[in-house]
Structure 1
Amino acid sequence: MNRSDQYVLPAADQKSRRQGHTERQGPSLATGLAARQRLGAALIVALLSVAWPARAKAAAAPNVGGASSVTVESAADHPTARAAAELLHARRERAWPLLRRWLAGEAIRAEPTQTPALPRPQLIKLGASLYGMYCQNCHGPSGHGDGPRAAVFDPRPRDFRSGLFKFRSTPTGSPPTEEDLFRTISAGLRGTGMLPFADLPEIQRWALAAYVRSLVPNQSELSAAPISVPAPPEDLSSEDRIRTGKDRYRQLGCNKCHGESGRGDGTAAPTLVDAWGRSAAPRDLVAQPLKRGDRPEDVFRSLATGLDGSPMPSYRDAAGDSELWDLVAFVESLQQRAARGVSPSDLARARTRVAAQQRQGAHTVIGGCGCQAGGKQ
């Protein structure tokens, strides 16, 4: 079986298993993250002083519409930059237990604990260097979603230059905040090739968020304040609210795409395409995990903001907060049906597809993205 079909446990992880390394005994995520933050402190200096000049250069084209003019190169030839890249790759290998636990369904903290201390120009420079190590293999060297690994994923990696982001706290048509990007980088997107990078120190995740945000054209003109999410009602799981939510589901036309039972088989489903003309099958709300997360607040935010670049619109103008919570209650009830009303074969097919995408992402995170010296994959 080749590399694209099966993940081979890294040598460093195999060694730590034999030696009974404490990280293999399932430490808390907070302990693991703190340790990796200490390990990464010295790397920031090396990346800023050496890896950045070796891995990035200014693009020849002028900076149009506020988009970043930095283009990330695929490899660093400087010996110190190679050493930094090798150490970062080794840290990702040691962090694999965290990623494996996430694949098994464990939640990862996505909220930041502090704001970045670096000046913004330095933060973007650091982010560009890290982007070359971790992101360009999927999202492409210029952020167009056309990296060498992009074709194996469904959905495809995001084209940052388009300015269309699904997972935001801002109104439809607006770019995400850097906090939104930080959360996505930290927590990943379930059922896709976008795995979590919560093992990276917070300063590096902030740097990646700042760099990705700098790729968005006309960002200063389009920026908007986040939409507030009220506290979930106490009766969210009540039968009355779920029944009202089911009616709301039909009134707002959700059944046309997601189907009457939420299985992604609505009458309009075969015709749906995304902003790039690619087929965009609606989510199976019963058997597949929700990409942003299944907390009620996550579902509310997706309904209120829409998923830009996809056929999923914002319902902020069509329904008030109470009506949106009705809809959240019904969607949450569909997720619970997976334990009773869905055949084992249907669940197996849906979960196999999800697992395949996440496995591809795991290969890219651990063995690719330019993490090894010379950009090896």
Structure 2
Amino acid sequence: MKRFSVILWFALVLTGLTMEGCTQQPTPTQTTFTATSQPAVPTATSTTVPVAKDQNLVIGMPISPRILDPDDLAPLSMAIFDLMYNKLIRVGTDGRLVPDLAESWEMVNPTTWRFHLRKGVKFHNGEEFNAETVKFTIEWNMDAKNNRLSRRGVPDVAKVNIVDSHTVDVTTTKPVGVQPTLLTIVYLLPAKYYARVGAQNFNNAPVGTGPFEYVDWKRDEYIKLQANPEYWEGKPKLNNVEIKIIPEASSRVAALKAGEVNLVYQLLPEQVDTVKTSGFEVKAVSIGQSYVFGFGRETLRAKPLQDKRVRQAIQHAVDMDAIIKGITGGMARKLDGQMAGPGVFGYSPDVRAYDYDPEKAKQLLTQAGYAQGFT
């Protein structure tokens, strides 16, 4: 087995120009886009040193999750949750929906989705995964009193009906064609155990169906997990996973070089060459999010920006490739004139970004009556 090493997470997706700052995942009514790039997670792996003879993996992360109850939508937290829990549906590496604990699903009518569940799956405490699990999880997230972030995955759900032990119908208040996609942020909870111990106690002793089960957690220091021998996809090849919280990027690199960790997340762009020359392979992996710089609403009301040609000129005037190279060392990806990137719901391969073309920008401004620019 290879020695993993660095995941340099550049959560940077850039656009070329801003008047009123930067927002993550903005709505079209708030900004007009200039260009975008998609954040990446570069990974570095050594091809010469085994991970560990005892099949233990130690990961260095910059921050501790807020909770271990899987209701934190931060990417780093979800990376940990993915080791411990499952969902009904997950997103594959190509952006397509793939089965997790729902083997299949179909739309029964415009407001009802039916999910057929895997059989023989058990939680780490032995509790059976079944339709009751799904009903409890969705209804728990639906309840506004529980203040769940995962409620975003069920905003229009009206009710959950159990068809049989491993089939459920999810009914929405209106047709929601993307309901299966929305459920990819909802992790499944053990209904009986969760109801018995309550949210706070569950957070201190979490139970999931994932490949690794909880052992210990000391906030801001470490999380320890061990292999789930009954995992439905087969026992993991690793025996243990330890996540060490190392806030400083330089300290994570030092721990990597010293062999104290096998893999680390979120390094700085300027550290890439150092990591490479230390014998590690660096890879960039998209995290499916984008950051967009644009114009605020007040700015958009300015007279020059009412002219489409002016907005097009601004697009052509921004050298996004140079920005990406200068700030991220080339580790971000310029998007195709849209917030979504390949593999993200809503992406259209037919949309293309504006090319960097200063001369074209000047021509457009001249045509719009702003040959000398404007303020």
TM-score, normalised to structure 2's length?
0.28
* Larger RCO: 1 or 2 (CA < 8 Å, sep 6+): 2
Q: Which has the higher helix share?
A: 1
Higher strand share: 2
Rg bigger for which structure? 2
